[in-house]
Structure 1
Amino acid sequence: MGPMREARGSKRRGRDVRHSGGFLRNWLAPLLVLALLAAGVGAYRFEWGQRHLPWLAADPVTEPEQVLVPAGLDLPAWSPPADDAGDDPAGIVLDPAAAPRLDPARVAAALSADLADPDLGRHVVAEVAPLAPGAPSWTSGDGRYLPASTTKLLTLGAALEVLGPDHTFTTRVVRGERAGEVVLVGGGDPLLASRPLTLAEAGATYPARADVTTLALETAEALGDGPVRVRFDDSLFTGPTDNPAWRRDYVPDDIVAPITALMVDGGDEPDSDLKQDDPSLASARVFVDALRAAGVRVSGQPRPAVAPPDAEELAAAESAPLSQVAERILDVSDNEGSEVLAHQVGLATSGTGSFEGGAAGVLQTLGGLGIDVAADEVYDGSGLSRRNRVSTSTLVGLLQHAAGPAGEDARSLLTGMPVAGFTGSLTYRFAEGPALARGLVRAKTGTLTGVHALAGVVVGRDGVPMAFVLGADRSPPEERYDAQEALDRAAAALAACRCSAPAAG
């Protein structure tokens, strides 16, 4: 969530921190998103999470907060467009071949001053293109940059493509090999919770969560009399739980949790800014406590084991659809959730759920979409690795794909990105520059020490939707806030720009 969520530590010390018919209907979803943003519809709800920024929570019971409309922003009334694949009441040109082209001189005039801000440092890259797939772009800089958390767009885009937006993740309880044994089996659910939501939380939390406490209650109902021993199986993922491409202090200093296939609350310790040392064991202990609370006699402590093949299933808990999970992860820049999904991509593409398998699977999947990833180097799913290098064209191409007729599966990339001045990691940004940008810029942030990035979509003053990437990865660390503001001003300038090329003739 902003720089604090994207790279945080308990001991900071300067650490790095669905299917529709017709061509028009395929385009309708992203255009509606952009149209609603342009209309400035109401106030957006988002989920910071009391676990992440407790001092910002107005109500300690609920996770999301209602964000008031920024002062001075006039919100016109709106009405939904006609739900008819043959109608185009807004007069929007949807044919990619006829999409507006950008005027390079106008884009340069809009961005040059802010991209030259010395607070951004010596290496600044930028790319802007119409949102239509394949539309030519305007670029500045050498194109490759350290992407930080804009890497999450690549991870989630690949996950949505290879698994599908309706895919869910299942946590199961099965009978063990020995009499009286039950095994809690991790399914790599990125949002698995320790406990069910209260009624107040459930009404304001998106998306819904599966939880191991409810799973334990269902297990208790399925069990007969007699004591049980609990085992846990997190063998779905393999390899190290601490990425070798991360700084060595990231896991020990609670910047990120070890990544396993069985982790509750994103690996967070309850009511703490610390991370669990062994998320799988911590999840099993929550399960055991809930079993005991339900009256089940549990012998001993939970231990690791591999569930027998074809074991009898006693209970199961299913996650929300991946499309909703992806929106949540993008909104709050969830590092652990992104890494879990990268492991899932590795499983789907090569059968290996690991950091290495996930990174390779992400690039393989994007390459299969026709996106040129030849110059890209990716070592994790969250963007915490400082070894990552990505071309701006990769991110622009992915956003164009997600907006196009062939990108229906990846549409959550557009709907999940934070909205400037309203939601997620952009809630308290875009305080400067044209007020028009608040609501018209939707972007994923990227922040590490000396690294600042924005990648997303924006509607220009002439109504043309654009994909953009702005990155600076050699910024003076002491100028972090000024550097962020410079990128915010640049993105805001795109919202105020009539950047499309004049019509011929």
Structure 2
Amino acid sequence: MSNSSSAGHAGSRHRGRGTIRPALRRAAVIAVTAPVAGTILFGTSAFAAPATLDPAEQSIADNLDVRVQDTRLGPTLSGVVIDADSGGLVWGHDATTALMPASNTKLATSTAALTILGPDHRFTTKAVYGDGVVTLVGGGDRTLTSADLDTMARTVAAVLKEAGPSSVQVRVDDSLFPAPTLATGWNDGYYPDSVAPVRALVVDGRHVTDTSVDAGRTFAKLLARRGVTVTGGVARATAGTGAALLAQHQSGALSDIVEHMLKVSDNDIAETLLRATALAAGRPATFEDGTAVVRQVLGQYGVSLTGFEIHDGSGLSRANRIPARTIADILDLADTAANGPTLGYIVDGLPVAGEAGSTLGPEWGRFDTADSRCAVGRVSAKTGTLTGAIALSGLTKAGDGRWKIFSFIENDSAADPAATKDALDGLAATVNGCWA
């Protein structure tokens, strides 16, 4: 998807080019490729209390008042619905209560990454040579594949054959990121299934303890297949400043990476983006500095940070807390035409109800009940799932023909998680109006 088509799609589908609210005027002047300035502009929420609700909105509000009492949703829910054009509040239920948001955190991470790095940013993996050593240098590309490494190996082999060294050793340099640590709210049980230790080098998205050495071993095998004699094992080393560049691979555009990350809720990509964003903002590539930059970016856009607390980029942290109002504010920001060229990819990356291959696909049992099936193809929303926390936040065109932004975050339900997800899907169908 090209940058121009994505931005136009998001803007024209969800919001016309009307008056930009004050908080969003600030958003338009943030430089997308420069580090965030030290001063944070704390704006007020974009939400405004409505004078009156139209009949379709009143129906949404009345039905949600009843359906939010569903026992499958448990005792703790933060929810909100706003009109995308006016910013008017349609419905709220403990909307400013900060709850564990699970993967809805990725919406904040995406906003910061697209703003600081820019949607055209690409991650570069390099192969350099010096003193008989070929070093694979990681650039934070979580989408790097064996096929990409094979293309690099072909180029490296051709250069080495011309230069004439009889054999080489292979090393990996992943020093772009510091050694992996656990985020606040993580436990080592997350490794390696839920997320791999965050390193700057990985191939085929493999979940192994040392993704860098694993990538180096793959590269060494590919070099050997191309006729290069590789001696010894693969180890970690920092490439010398005088090493010669032999080959490099660039990832796809960040805009495409963000869309994919949101569609499938990829934890590894989210954590890599958090570190890359911190580096681009002139800070160390750590959880603490990455999340600090996220806060700065959201604050400068005018997003309410009351109750906002995150400790990672993926939402795996059980210490994260975000109110539904803030999640809706982030979506409102991304859905505004003025921000389309930078943030519209967030809206385009939202899973669509019934979309196979996404976290709202039929393989996950989403939008398949009598109450919610009517909303298939009509709701775009980011999912979030942790033990004790399920969220669903997105957009849908309601019965009045106007787009609504909604966020529902549930914590502490004793119901089966599949039943809770069904109940949340029903709330989204209620906002759409197809479940009247």
**Pairwise same-fold verdict (TM > 0.5):** yes
Give the letter aligned to residue 321 of structure 2.
R
Matches within 5 A, 1:294-333: 294-309=226-241, 311-333=243-265
Give, in whole Å, the separation in 1 of the partners of 2:217 and 2:6.
46
Where does residue 52 of structure 1 map in the other structure?
none
| Cα deviations by residue, 1:276-328 (Å, 9 ceiling, x for unpaired) | 11111101100101000111001111111111225321100000000101111
Change (3 A) 1:221 1:335: same
Question: Deviation of residue 128 (structure 1)?
Answer: 1.1
Give the letter aligned to residue 29 of structure 1.
H
Which among 421, 426, 431 is matched to residue 489 of structure 1?
Answer: 426
Where does residue 399 of structure 1 map in the other structure?
331
Where does residue 137 of structure 2 map in the other structure?
185
Change (3 A) 1:137 1:234: farther
Change (3 A) 1:93 1:361: closer
Q: Is the 8 A contact 1:213 1:286 kept in 2?
A: no
* DSSP-derived class of the 1:425 partner: coil
Give, in whole Å, the separation in 2 of the partners of 1:145 and 1:132.
27
Give, in whole Å, the separation in 1 of the partners of 2:427 and 2:3.
36
Where does residue 470 of structure 1 map in the other structure?
408
Give the letter aligned to residue 119 of structure 1.
R
Where does residue 503 of structure 1 map in the other structure?
none
Question: Deviation of residue 496 (structure 1)?
Answer: 1.0
Give, in whole Å, the separation in 1 of the partners of 2:65 and 2:111.
30
Question: Deviation of residue 391 (structure 1)?
Answer: 2.0
Q: Is the 8 A contact 2:11 2:336 kept in 1?
A: no
Where does residue 156 of structure 2 map in the other structure?
219
* DSSP-derived class of the 1:331 partner: helix
Change (3 A) 1:310 1:376: farther
Give the letter aligned to residue 269 of structure 2.
G
Where does residue 285 of structure 1 map in the other structure?
217
Q: Is the 8 A contact 1:350 1:357 kept in 2?
A: no
TM-score by length of 2: 0.85
* DSSP-derived class of the 1:125 partner: strand
Which among 203, 212, 218 is matched to residue 264 of structure 1?
Answer: 203
* DSSP-derived class of the 2:233 partner: coil
Give the letter aligned to residue 454 of structure 1.
L
| Cα deviations by residue, 1:88-114 (Å, 9 ceiling, x for unpaired) | xxxx85414799967274332131222
Q: CA RMSD in A?
A: 2.5
Give, in whole Å, the separation in 2 of the partners of 1:167 and 1:333.
20
Where does residue 41 of structure 1 map in the other structure?
none
Where does residue 357 of structure 1 map in the other structure?
289
1:231 aligns with 2:171: yes
* DSSP-derived class of the 1:447 partner: strand
Q: Is the 8 A contact 1:159 1:341 kept in 2?
A: yes
* DSSP-derived class of the 2:152 partner: helix
| Cα deviations by residue, 1:48-98 (Å, 9 ceiling, x for unpaired) | xxxxxxxxxxxxxxxxxxxxxxxxxxxxxxxxxxxxxxxxxxxx8541479
Question: Deviation of residue 403 (structure 1)?
Answer: 1.4
Question: Deviation of residue 398 (structure 1)?
Answer: 1.4
Give, in whole Å, the separation in 1 of the partners of 2:231 and 2:425.
56
Change (3 A) 1:497 1:129: farther
Question: Deviation of residue 341 (structure 1)?
Answer: 0.6
- Aligned length, in residue pairs: 395
Give, in whole Å, the separation in 1 of the partners of 2:409 and 2:9.
28
Which among 368, 371, 374 is matched to residue 431 of structure 1?
Answer: 368
Q: Is the 8 A contact 2:7 2:345 kept in 1?
A: no
Give, in whole Å, the separation in 2 of the partners of 1:26 and 1:297.
46
Question: Deviation of residue 394 (structure 1)?
Answer: 1.9
Question: Deviation of residue 245 (structure 1)?
Answer: 2.8
Q: Is the 8 A contact 1:458 1:495 kept in 2?
A: yes
| Cα deviations by residue, 1:158-188 (Å, 9 ceiling, x for unpaired) | 1011111111000001123xx1111110000
1:108 aligns with 2:48: no
Give the letter aligned to residue 62 of structure 2.
A
TM-score by length of 1: 0.73
Give, in whole Å, the separation in 1 of the partners of 2:234 and 2:16.
60
Which among 114, 132, 151 is matched to residue 160 of structure 1?
Answer: 114
| Cα deviations by residue, 1:193-240 (Å, 9 ceiling, x for unpaired) | 2x22xxxxxxxxxxxxxx222222221122232211111110111153
Give the letter aligned to residue 156 of structure 2.
T
Q: Is the 8 A contact 2:156 2:246 kept in 1?
A: yes
Change (3 A) 1:256 1:19: closer
Identity %: 37
Give, in whole Å, the separation in 1 of the partners of 2:374 and 2:292.
39
Where does residue 450 of structure 1 map in the other structure?
388
Change (3 A) 1:281 1:300: same
Question: Deviation of residue 497 (structure 1)?
Answer: 6.7
Where does residue 82 of structure 1 map in the other structure?
none
Where does residue 46 of structure 1 map in the other structure?
none
Give, in whole Å, the separation in 2 of the partners of 1:180 and 1:26.
46
Change (3 A) 1:97 1:171: closer
Give the letter aligned to residue 433 of structure 2.
A
- Which runs of no fewer than 5 residues in structure 2 stay unpaired? 22-46
Change (3 A) 1:133 1:26: farther
Q: Is the 8 A contact 1:147 1:446 kept in 2?
A: yes
Which among 396, 399, 415 is matched to residue 461 of structure 1?
Answer: 399
Matches within 5 A, 1:337-416: 337-408=269-340, 409-416=342-349
* DSSP-derived class of the 1:189 partner: coil
Give, in whole Å, the separation in 1 of the partners of 2:338 and 2:20.
15
More helix by share: 2
Question: Deviation of residue 397 (structure 1)?
Answer: 1.5
Question: Deviation of residue 393 (structure 1)?
Answer: 2.2
Which among 22, 29, 46 is matched to residue 9 of structure 2?
Answer: 29
Q: Is the 8 A contact 1:182 1:228 kept in 2?
A: yes
Question: Deviation of residue 466 (structure 1)?
Answer: 1.3
Where does residue 126 of structure 1 map in the other structure?
79
| Cα deviations by residue, 1:410-435 (Å, 9 ceiling, x for unpaired) | 11111011100124010121112254
- Which runs of no fewer than 5 residues in structure 1 stay unpaired? 1-17, 35-91, 197-210, 269-274, 500-505
Change (3 A) 1:310 1:367: farther
Question: Deviation of residue 241 (structure 1)?
Answer: 3.9
Change (3 A) 1:296 1:328: same
Give the letter aligned to residue 173 of structure 2.
D
Question: Deviation of residue 473 (structure 1)?
Answer: 1.0
Which among 167, 171, 181 is matched to residue 125 of structure 2?
Answer: 171
Give the letter aligned to residue 108 of structure 1.
A
